[in-house]
Amino acid sequence: MKKDSINLLVSKKSNFSMDHKSTSLTHLEEKVIGLLNRLKENHLSLIQYEESVSLLTEENKLLKEQMVQLREENKSLKIANNLLGSTEGKTQAKTKINSLIKEVDTCIQQLSEMN
């Protein structure tokens, strides 16, 4: 009888061990599924962030181009203002006029070389 009772205890113990392993395996599977879901969410977030960076980079490029155009326009307006008699930036106006004269001289020289 003692042998039978020992076998019963061993078999009950192994059932408990199998139930514990099954529970552990189920718990592990749930964790893996949770991690896979988080990985998918992170991947989708990464794609959205990359698209956002791309859009912001394009917007930054456009703003830089606009800034350059506005600076040129500002420079031209200052020169025009100086030519109209403003006392501010006379040297700037003189410099611009001299550079325009040089450009005209270069064009005339190239035209005379063509003939």
Q: What is the DSSP string of 23-60?
A: HHHHHHHHHHHHHHHHHHHHHHHHHHHHHHHHHHHHHH
Q: Identify whether 22 is part of a domain.
A: yes
Q: Distance between CA 59 and CA 99 in Å, rounded? A: 34
Say if CB 88 and CB 82 are below 8 A apart: yes
Q: pLDDT tens-digit profile of 48-69?
A: 999 999 999 999 999 999 999 9
Structure tokens given for 76: 């031209």
Q: Identify whether 29 is part of a domain.
A: yes
End-to-end CA distance of the chain: 128
Q: Identify whether 95 is part of a domain.
A: no
Q: Identify whether 61 is part of a domain.
A: yes
Q: Tell me the pTM.
A: 0.46
Structural domain of residue 50, as residue ranges? 2-88
- The pLDDT, as a whole number, for residue 87 is 63
